[in-house]
Amino acid sequence: MSRTLLVVVSICMVAMIAGCATDKASKAETTKVQPAAAAKTEPAAEPKPTVQYVDTPTGRWMVHDESRPAPPIITPGAGCGERPSDATMLFDGTQASMANWTDTKKEPSKWVVGDGYMESVKGAGYIQTKQEFGSCQLHVEFATPSKVQGTSQGRGNSGVFLHGQYEIQVLDSYDNKTYPDGQCAALYGRAVPLVNVCRKPGEWQSYDIVYHRPLFDKDGKVTRKATFTVFQNGVLVQDHVVLEGGTGWINAHTITDYKPHGDKGPIQLQDHGNPVRYRNIWVRELKD
């Protein structure tokens, strides 16, 4: 009897092992088949993000988050930068120096020249240098309108674009709340200035910018990101900041990524619909 039971148990164990093996083989077969079946199917498109976040020493914030802590407000000293002997003059306040500039279609710009300054004209579009630049040191003086109109991004908005790509925001940020990564001296959507050193509306201010361009490989992938050091009114506001991507507005909380471009591009000033003035613009080319 016990011998018969032993035989039955043995047969059952062999059957179970065989069953497991068959089951494993079956699963393995299924696994083998799946990639072939998947290869025939189009991959699902990844959903595009509508909100981007950035981790900072003050916490995690959305791009263009009004709740993000704004930088402290300080008062600048007097004085601006005169052009050194090795700099290229781009605008010296004269009508003649407007010959260095065009609109983005390379036609004469509709920006107007006043007493020692040029002023943006609503609808005229960006103005840009005929000459193109890569890594450089740039001096720009600007004044937002003395007549205060609008709020947030609608007050004294313009911008200085390096390489025709990357915007250092120009805005009336004197007692004008907006999202800190879009206030005056921000690398738009990318970096909040260290301090708010803005003068009053209508007063002349300056930017001194040290820009090193990004590098791209043959496939268009960025291999070295751009860096920015910026002084506003002689005060450091961007300290060798690595630009993590583009500065183009996509929607309320989304900003552009890097896209490949040439070694050089124009310096542009933005028409954002507000009459912002510029004067004393000069540039020195730098090694990469």
Report in angstroms how near the CB of residue 247 gets to Mg ion at its nearest: 9
CB atoms within 10 A of CB 10: 10
Distance, in Å, from the CA atom of 57 to the CA atom of 60, rounded to the nearest integer, reads: 8
The CB-of-32 to Mg ion minimum distance in angstroms stands at 56
- Given the rule CB under 5 A, which of 137-145, 194-202, 222-230, 266-274 is the region that contacts Mg ion? 266-274
Tell me if 26 sits within 8 A of 20, measured CB to CB.
Answer: no
CB of 255 to Mg ion, least distance (A): 13
Q: Is 145 strand, coil or helix? A: coil
Closest CA to 180 of 72, 65, 55: 65
Residue 189 within binding range of Mg ion, rule CB under 5 A:
no
Window contacting Mg ion (CB under 5 A); options: 13-21, 48-56, 119-127, 272-280: 272-280
Q: How far is the CB of 157 from Mg ion (least distance, A)?
A: 5
Q: Taking Cα atoms as reference points, which of 244, 250, 185 lies closest to residue 214? A: 244
Place of tokens 């950035």: 54
61 or 126: whose CB is closer to Mg ion?
126
Stretch touching Mg ion by CB under 5 A, among 20-28, 114-122, 157-165, 209-217: 157-165
Q: Should residue 159 be labelled a site residue for Mg ion when binding is judged by CB under 5 A?
A: yes
According to the binding rule CB under 5 A, does residue 246 interact with Mg ion?
Answer: no
- Distance in angstroms (rounded) separating the CA atoms of residues 193 and 15: 74
Residues engaged in binding Mg ion (CB under 5 A): 157, 159, 270, 272
